[in-house]
Amino acid sequence: MEANLTITPATVTVTADAKSKAYGAADPELTYTSSVEGLTFTGELEREAGEDVGTYKINQGSLSAGANYTVTYVEANLTITPATVTVTADAKSKAYGAADPELTYTSSVEGLTFTGELEREAGEDVGTYKINQEA
């Protein structure tokens, strides 16, 4: 009498690591942990498309442990947070009695367009006056 021994794939759990980045930054490396220590994987995790501030799922993508394993995948999220932008008013000067110069600024992120205006503290006597963003 003949019989067969069937070997079925073992199960491995892959858990994606949650990641975050600031708006406009490059994606971080998508990493994971495995329930089987030392197991070699091929492929990589992928994330949902999108670059706006928000939350995007990290998917299994092409990550595989080969034919000997069935992967149980536990997803995580990539969170895109607002970028930090620093706007600095440029120092200006004028002679007593002259018209105010144009008030300008520099930004830590090139190419952004801002709303609002700059204004300076009131006064025309010789002295130093703060330049502020108009509310």
Compute how many other C-beta atoms are within 10 angstroms of the C-beta atom of residue 16: 23
The lowest-confidence range among 30-44, 54-68, 82-96, 108-122 is 108-122
In tens, the pLDDT along 53-101 reads 999 999 999 999 999 999 999 999 999 999 999 999 999 999 999 999 9
pTM of the prediction?
0.73
The lowest-confidence range among 7-11, 20-24, 100-104, 110-114 is 110-114
Average pLDDT, the chain: 95
